[in-house]
Amino acid sequence: MIRFIGLMAVLLCITVIIVIIGCQSDIILPKDVPLKGTYVGVYSYITNFGAGTLEEVTSAHITFVFDETSYHLNLDTSYTDQHCFCATDGEYALTEGVRLKEAHSQPDEDAGCTSCNSEENPEGVFVREVKGDSLILKLQEGTTLYELRLLKVSD
């Protein structure tokens, strides 16, 4: 009987060791980091993406603000001679990446823009990469790439 109890104790210890060793390779993903804050960076609208010399890159320095559920994009007025993207605002959600849903857009008059092309506005589900205070959002639709490269400057 003592031998049986000893054997059961050894088997239990081996089972616990196997479970511990097996769980060491588990990857625990952190919860999505909230986006709330003010960011500065570059917004790029790239057509013919991946087509080498036919690729056309249009970009501008921007300020991007995420509130609890809304966002605002404006051109950074400290830079001159840049493309006139629309000043946009809308709602966002952290589902399947970062979903931007535009509510309004207009030429950014503070940046000297009298017109803009709303087709170039960032909208849709973006893949999100976070590296420290840097945030990169990318969305590819066919041969068009929308890319926001942002650095958080305040909460």
Cα–Cα distance between 85 and 99 in angstroms, integer? 19
Q: What is the pLDDT along the chain (155 residues), one digit of tens a residue?
A: 565 455 445 444 454 444 455 544 444 444 566 799 999 999 999 999 989 889 999 999 999 999 999 999 999 999 988 999 999 999 999 988 999 999 999 999 999 999 999 999 999 999 999 888 899 999 999 999 999 999 999 98
The full set of domains in the chain, from first to last, is 37-154 (2.40.128)
Cα–Cα distance between 134 and 136 in angstroms, integer? 7
DSSP designation for 143: T
% helix, strand, coil for the chain, step of 5 = 20, 45, 35
For the entire predicted model, the pTM comes to 0.77
In sequence order, what are the residues at sequence separation of 6 or more whose Cβ sits closer than 8 angstroms to the Cβ of residue 66? 35, 36, 37, 39, 92
